[in-house]
Amino acid sequence: MAESNCTQATEFSLTEFTDNLMTQVTLFLMFLVTILGNLGMIALIRASPQLHSPMYYFLGNLAFVDLCSSTIITPKMLVDFISEKKGITYAGCVAQVFIFDLFGMTECFLLATMAYDRYMAICHPLVYPLVMSPKCCFRLVTGSYLMGLTNGMGQTIGMSNLSFCGSSVIDLFFCDISPLISLSTSDTTLSHIILRTSASLFGVSSSLVVLVSYVAIISTILSISSAEGKRKAFSTCASHLTTVSIFYGTSLFMYLKPSSDSSRKEDKWTAVFYTVVTPMLNPLIYSLRNKEVKEALRR
């Protein structure tokens, strides 16, 4: 009864990540690099005929997802650096949860799709053009976005069923579902189950696809007799393996580890890493380590 008579929060206050000027300037520069890097990668792939292949089709979508997930979080954080009132409306918070969870899960499945693409290219090169046809690639990418949409809608519906009648201070610099569940004054048992189930079902299943793919890839590479053949085969998936390690490592650590008060500062640094650093690193990793991308840039 008390729950139904409470006054629902219409605005949330966000906690500042840092008041250090040098760190703030660094994060601003990183955001600029993220925008320019991902836009540049998308434009380069579209403009270069030699990059019109399944791997770069997936990479272009990955750059688009990184661009979207970064712009829903980082600009608000940068504005809060110079704003006295660090708040966000309930509707804005819902939008952040939906869009961030949508593109975050889409990236999980895109990385899994890219691992499967590398598996087919290295382990089954003869049937690769047939299996990874443009139609198949489109379906894989569409499926990744649909999985992300399912996750975003599920988390948003879960948030709409929560009541926020007590404190409205979110101990993070953006609206994430985990601190919102902790902030709710209603029974959050079901919300915790949905969050952990979603992270386990979607995140762990996509990471298993990556793991199984790379076990097969490494096994195939080791069976190659020449050292040059091994080096060339490994170079085709080194960039993707680096990106996967960074993304899955920080994401699974953030959402599957037990929560505690002593780890809040650590959580904020982890959140900065996968919301700001990872989207910036992806285009840099692929442009610096990939010969075809470097040749396309020179042209």
**Burial of 178 from C-beta contacts in 10 A (0-12 / 13-18 / 19+):** middle
Name residue 161's beta-bridge partners. none
**Residue 5 lies inside a defined structural domain of this protein:** no
Is 196 among the domain residues?
Answer: yes
The secondary structure of residue 12, as a DSSP letter, is E
**What are the mean pLDDT values of the chain's consecutive 10-residue runs (299 residues total)?**
60 76 86 90 87 88 91 84 79 88 90 91 90 93 93 83 76 81 76 75 83 89 80 75 77 60 61 81 73 71
In a domain, 114, yes or no: yes
Quickly list DSSP for 172-197.
Answer: SSS--HHHHHHH-SS--HHHHHHHHH
Domain-embedded: residue 30: yes
Burial of 68 (0-12, 13-18, 19+ CB in 10 A): middle
The helix, strand and coil proportions of the chain, stated in percent and rounded to the nearest 5, come to 75, 5, 20
pLDDT digits (tens, 9 = 90+) for 41-84: 899 888 888 888 898 899 899 999 999 988 888 888 888 888 77
Side-chain half-sphere of 51: how many Cα atoms within 13 Å?
A: 24
Alpha carbon distance 41, 296 (integer Å) = 10
CATH of the domain at 254: 1.20.1070.10
- Domain of residue 157 covers 11-298
Hey, which residues does 50 pair with through a beta bridge?
none
Structural tokens at position 28: 């601003």
